[in-house]
Amino acid sequence: KKSRQTVNTDHDAVLLIEANLDDQGGESLGFAMDLLVDAGALDVFFTPIYMKKNRPACKLSVLCAPEERDTFVNLLLRHTATIGVRYQLMRRSIMKRQFKKVETKYGTIRVKIASRNGVVKQTAEYDDCAHAARVHKVSLADVEREVQLQLAKLENQ
Amino acid sequence: KKSRQTVNTDHDAVLLIEANLDDQGGESLGFAMDLLVDAGALDVFFTPIYMKKNRPACKLSVLCAPEERDTFVNLLLRHTATIGVRYQLMRRSIMKRQFKKVETKYGTIRVKIASRNGVVKQTAEYDDCAHAARVHKVSLADVEREVQLQLAKLENQ
Amino acid sequence: KKSRQTVNTDHDAVLLIEANLDDQGGESLGFAMDLLVDAGALDVFFTPIYMKKNRPACKLSVLCAPEERDTFVNLLLRHTATIGVRYQLMRRSIMKRQFKKVETKYGTIRVKIASRNGVVKQTAEYDDCAHAARVHKVSLADVEREVQLQLAKLENQ
Amino acid sequence: KKSRQTVNTDHDAVLLIEANLDDQGGESLGFAMDLLVDAGALDVFFTPIYMKKNRPACKLSVLCAPEERDTFVNLLLRHTATIGVRYQLMRRSIMKRQFKKVETKYGTIRVKIASRNGVVKQTAEYDDCAHAARVHKVSLADVEREVQLQLAKLENQ
Amino acid sequence: KKSRQTVNTDHDAVLLIEANLDDQGGESLGFAMDLLVDAGALDVFFTPIYMKKNRPACKLSVLCAPEERDTFVNLLLRHTATIGVRYQLMRRSIMKRQFKKVETKYGTIRVKIASRNGVVKQTAEYDDCAHAARVHKVSLADVEREVQLQLAKLENQ
Amino acid sequence: KKSRQTVNTDHDAVLLIEANLDDQGGESLGFAMDLLVDAGALDVFFTPIYMKKNRPACKLSVLCAPEERDTFVNLLLRHTATIGVRYQLMRRSIMKRQFKKVETKYGTIRVKIASRNGVVKQTAEYDDCAHAARVHKVSLADVEREVQLQLAKLENQ
Ligand code: NI
Ligand code: NI
Ligand code: NI
Ligand code: NI
Ligand code: NI
Ligand code: NI
Ligand code: NI
Ligand code: NI
Ligand code: NI
Ligand code: NI
Ligand code: NI
Ligand code: NI
């Protein structure tokens, strides 16, 4: 899974593709989001907008690698009601990242360590936390707090 | 038109009818809004919501006189994709209101005078201002400012 | 699954439970939605709101059977950051509904038939359409259109 | 009307002009939208945003032909409260499109046929459907379904 | 400050007052929010809505003690453009709460302890954390994590 | 304060920096907005968005001078949960502006005079109006109306 790979650079570029959708219900928009995520989009999100003729609508935004433009343009045109999509290149400043595993009372949890210019963030992987919370019948916040406690212990050793 | 009638009471009750719509595009939601307004709803509005399965959706809310419940429930069930609507009664505190006409350099504009407990609001009617702005090729703000100036002059006489 | 059961009444009541969440991220809100849906909520939805101190926040709304209030209040208090939830009873006007199966070139699809006061809606079940669209590599709209064509043929027989 | 013209290219460019509006009510924003649409904007839409000092605000976005920048910048500065607008060029991938007329039991309805890379979409024109739905006292969905049935019949001939 | 008082009950009732505002800019809505919070409202929030005539608008919601209805109705009518507000009573399930002080490397931070049916939440007071983060030039997350670590230590003693 | 300086040009460029935040609550987002505004951002705003896995989230947008990119990128990475931000340059068309002081029955109020291509806007400074409204116990609209009346008198002299 892409989102769990080590990243060693601090900048790159992404393509932002957008379409305004005023003739498609939420059911099929949710279906389209699933397909776009499965196809490897870096991010997919909806923004509520308001269009002419009193139409509550939805802007669909996809962030992808610039070289995958055709793939995502085609997916958007096939799975949404729009007949045109617009796009632009954006530059990014990103944190370098690597992963480690932490033992907790809820089992092993992967943690993403992101760093840049002296800022360091350690974030427990959502999928691991969600799994652990379900299995151990606690809240997601309980698991995330436990991970932070174990990370603090490791630092103090 | 109902919204321009004199109102002499300071409280009443309204029915709020709502439906969550995750399977209907903006085009037909705009069409439904027009029908509901034409049918005499006191207010019709959309709220963007987010439902399960990644569905960006829309909550349709209608405020109407309590005795018109059947009319609006039927309109909602006929013109939207929902198979059920929920409703509740709400009490209202309202300002008494009457209307007057004000002469301005952009023509005659109706003004609504609302009052309650020492608070008085004088609001130029939107339809008149919009018409005047279009005819005289000025902005809506220009017309509204002119109306306020004429109202101030009338007060100082 | 509850949403596929025959319904023979045209009105009932639901409980609307709400909480404003300004101290919880989207990840754990999505987790909470999944739990609430799994627990049998009739509907769960988020509304974007804006609170004091420049806080973009989220209103979580749950519709459930009135007799399940304790279950859902407890789930909300356990899995969200709120320390209080508010609720109210709402009455509903609903369409009677039953289900049938329709043969299409994309396989068998269940269709919900909802009716009330002369209004009849036939809606293809989302899960069946989504499955068929994935398997046959077509869009969800292609499947839904095919279902409507088969329904029209059945009517003309 | 521009939106009903044949289009024979599969890419072009548009200008996106935007302004954040925190000092203007919805009434005059709706008025501005009408003027911008009348002036030939390709698209006009509002996005709810939240600004500093607890201000719920509105982002106004206009898509127009790049050579019409001055026209729309001037309209925005005249009819909204902003004192500055920002803009950027975006490239578009669009579907080729042409129009045909379809006879239905609700009268003649124009249909837009959009195509690109093997994807073909046939969409009934909203204005025709809305008019037919009002005249024949049916829902918009009824008219759109009827159009799809007639299109299917034409294909099978 | 009310939000820092001990609470010993697990249910109460609140009044929800609402108004739809389509003729007032964000600046004066932010001003109104400040006044309502200062006047002791339990909660004040904005919801983006879409009204007729293409108007992006704002629903203002106030939660207050039921016996303070007149105070807040009057404030709303004086400081917003609306000429009527609606309201309803809602029941609440709340967690009992008390406060304690925790020593951290960023100074003393108050912590709210909320409990109900076996669920216990310990939340650092925002104002204290924000002050500490500004003074010590760290992020708010840094302060909140430190508080959780100190709370964990206290539990293990 | 930057927003009160005379501006003598009618175009410039700004950098738009954005991040999608699905793992951070509203409390700390409000804290981040305050820091960004204090650091001299030209504008900071939140947009409600919906991300995968049913996550209601928030897009944070910052407009700043292009040469201050590093400052704001660093602030965003330090004070939000994101591990990457994207940015793009946008050109702006702006109105020239200067300031004057107007005497009113609520005290002296600064007024911004913006002009371009024959459009002139005179806007009372929010901070002055808000202060006057609080001191004189009137609504913000009362103060703004009074300022407009005094401006009209000055024009007629
Ligand atoms: Ni385990
Ligand atoms: Ni997380
Ligand atoms: Ni005239
Ligand atoms: Ni008005
Ligand atoms: Ni098959
Ligand atoms: Ni469906
Ligand atoms: Ni006809
Ligand atoms: Ni359509
Ligand atoms: Ni200190
Ligand atoms: Ni907090
Ligand atoms: Ni004074
Ligand atoms: Ni202002």
* E113-146 residue pLDDT tens: 999 999 999 999 999 999 999 999 999 999 999 9
Closest CA to A107 of A138, A137, A128, A134: A128
Residue C54, sorted as left (phi over 0), alpha (psi -120 to 50) or beta, turns out to be left
**Percentage of chain A surpassing pLDDT 90?**
92
Q: Which ligand is nearest to the CA of E137?
A: 9
Contacts of E153 (CB under 8 A, 6+ apart): none
Average of per-residue pLDDT across B94-112: 97
| A109 shares its domain with A122 | yes
Q: Do D149 and C148 touch (CB under 8 A)?
A: yes
Give the pLDDT score at E5.
Answer: 82
Q: Which one of B91, B117, B121 has the shortest CB-CB distance to E83?
A: B121
Neighbours of ion ligand 1 (CB under 5 A): A 107
The per-residue pLDDT of chain B, averaged, comes to 96
**Domain co-membership, A107 together with A82:** no
The interface pTM score, or ipTM, of the predicted complex is 0.96
Burial class (CB in 10 A: 0-12, 13-18, 19+), E38: exposed
pLDDT, one tens digit per residue, over A80-91 is: 999 999 999 999
Residues 6+ apart with CB under 8 A from F2: F40, F42
Structure confidence by residue, pLDDT tens digits, A97-131: 999 999 999 999 999 999 999 999 999 999 999 99
pLDDT, residue A1, reads 60
Cβ contact, residue pair E23, D24, below 8 Å: no
Same domain? For B38 and B72 the reply is yes
CA C93 to chain B, closest CA, distance in angstroms equals: 5
Say whether both D36 and D75 belong to one domain: yes
Residues C82 and C15 in one domain: yes
Last residue of a domain, one of B93, B110, B126: B93
Point out the residue among D56, D145, D149 whose CB comes nearest to the CB of C50.
Answer: D56
> Do C15 and C88 share a domain, yes or no?
yes
With respect to residue E4, please indicate whether it lies within any of the assigned structural domains. Answer: no
Instruction: Name residue, tokens 């690597």.
Output: A98
Residues in chain E within 8 Å Cβ distance of D20: none
pLDDT digit string, tens, across residues E12-36: 999 999 999 999 999 999 999 999 9
Percent of chain D with pLDDT over 70: 99
Do A101 and A114 lie in one domain? The reply is yes
Q: How confident is the model at residue B58 (pLDDT cuts 50, 70, 90)?
A: very high
Domain assignment present for residue D2? The answer is no
Boundary-marking domain end, from B46, B64, B93: B93
Question: What pLDDT is stored for residue F3 in this prediction?
Answer: 73
For residues F69 and F25, membership in a common domain is answered with: yes
Name the percent of chain B lying above pLDDT 70: 99
C86 and C18 inside one domain:
yes
In a domain, A2, yes or no: no
Residues F30 and F88 in one domain: yes
For residue B17, the distance in angstroms to the closest alpha carbon of chain A comes to: 18
Give the mean model confidence (pLDDT) for residues E51-71: 98
D152 inside domain: yes
Within-domain flag for C1: no
**Chain F residues lying within 8 Å of C46, measured CB to CB:** 56
Residue E77 belongs to domain with CATH number: 3.30.70.1380
What is the E107 CA–ligand 9 centroid distance (Å)? 5
A70/A140 same-domain check: no
Taking the centre of ligand 11 as the mean of its atom positions, its distance from the CA of residue F131, in whole angstroms, is 9
pLDDT at A28: 97
Neighbouring chains of D at 3+ CB pairs within 8 Å? A, B, C, E, F
Contact E149 A152 (CB under 8 A): yes
A94:F83 CB<8 A: yes
pLDDT score recorded for residue E148: 97
Single out the residue in A52, A69, A93 at which a domain terminates. A93
Per residue in D46-91, pLDDT (tens digit) is 999 999 999 999 999 999 999 999 999 999 999 999 999 999 999 9
Question: E48 and A48: CB-CB below 8 Å?
Answer: yes
| Vertex D61: Cα angle to D57 and D66 (nearest 5) | 155
Q: pLDDT tens digit string along F55-97?
A: 999 999 999 999 999 999 999 999 999 999 999 999 999 999 9
Give the tens place of pLDDT for each residue, C21-33.
Answer: 999 999 999 999 9
Closest chain C C-alpha to D71 CA, distance in angstroms:
34
Residue whose C-alpha is closest to residue E4's, from E111, E79, E131, E150: E111
A43:F20 CB<8 A: yes
Residue linked to tokens 């607890």: D54
* Residue C24 domain boundaries: 11-93
Query: Cβ distance B7 to B97 under 8 Å?
Result: yes
Report pLDDT for C157: 80
Number of domains in chain E: 2
Residue D39 scores a pLDDT above 90:
yes
C127 domain-assigned? yes
Residue E2 has pLDDT above 70, yes or no: no
Ligand number, closest to the Cα atom of E55 = 4
Mutate which of F148, F150, F151, F154 to disrupt the B interface (most B C-beta within 10 Å)?
A: F148
pLDDT above 90: residue B131? yes
- Pair (A42, A111) in one structural domain: no
Report pLDDT digits (tens) over C70-122.
999 999 999 999 999 999 999 999 999 999 999 999 999 999 999 999 999 99
Let me know if residue F4 belongs to a domain: no
Can you tell me the mean pLDDT for A127-142? 97
Mean pLDDT of A13-38: 98
- How many CB atoms lie under 10 A from the CB of residue E10? 14
Provide the residues around ligand 12 (an ion) whose CB is within 5 A.
Answer: D 23; E 27
Best D143, D145, D154, D156 residue to mutate vs chain C (most C CBs within 10 Å)? D145
The answer to whether the CB atoms of B22 and A24 lie below 8 A apart is: no
User: B1: pLDDT confidence band, cut at 50, 70 and 90?
Assistant: low
Q: Which residue shows structure tokens 């809004």? A: B33
Closest ligand relative to B133 C-alpha:
3
Give the closest of F89, F117, F121 to D83, CB-based. F121
Radius of gyration of the CA atoms of chain A, in A? 19
- On whether residue A70 sits in a domain, the answer given is yes
Q: What is the mean pLDDT of residues D126-151?
A: 97
